Amino acid sequence: VTDAGFGVINWQASASTTSGGNWLSLSPTTGTQNEPLAVRVTLGTLAAGTYSGNVQVSSPGANGTPKNIPVTLTVTPPLPLISTGGVQNNASYQRAASSLAPGSIAAIFGTNLTDGRSCLPPSCGPTLVNGRLGTSMVGSSVTVNGVAAPFFYATPNQLGVQIPAELGPGTVDVRVTVENRQGAAQAIAI
**What is the mean pLDDT of the segment spanning 111-138?**
91
**Cβ-based neighbour number of residue 188 at 10 Å:** 24
Length of the chain: 190
pLDDT at 111 exceeding the cut of 90:
yes
Alpha helices in the chain (DSSP H): 96-99
Percent of the chain with pLDDT over 70: 95
In one-letter notation, the amino acid at residue 170 is G
Percent of the chain with pLDDT over 90: 67
pLDDT score, position 48: 86
Reference 189, options 178, 177, 165, 173; nearest CA is 173
> For the segment 85-110, what is each residue's pLDDT rounded down to a tens digit?
999 999 887 776 667 899 999 999 99
Query: How far is residue 167's CA from residue 146's CA, in Å, rounded to a whole number?
Result: 10
> For the segment 29-83, what is each residue's pLDDT rounded down to a tens digit?
998 877 888 999 998 888 889 999 999 999 887 888 899 999 999 998 899 999 9
pLDDT score, position 98: 65
**What is the mean pLDDT of the segment spanning 154-175?**
95
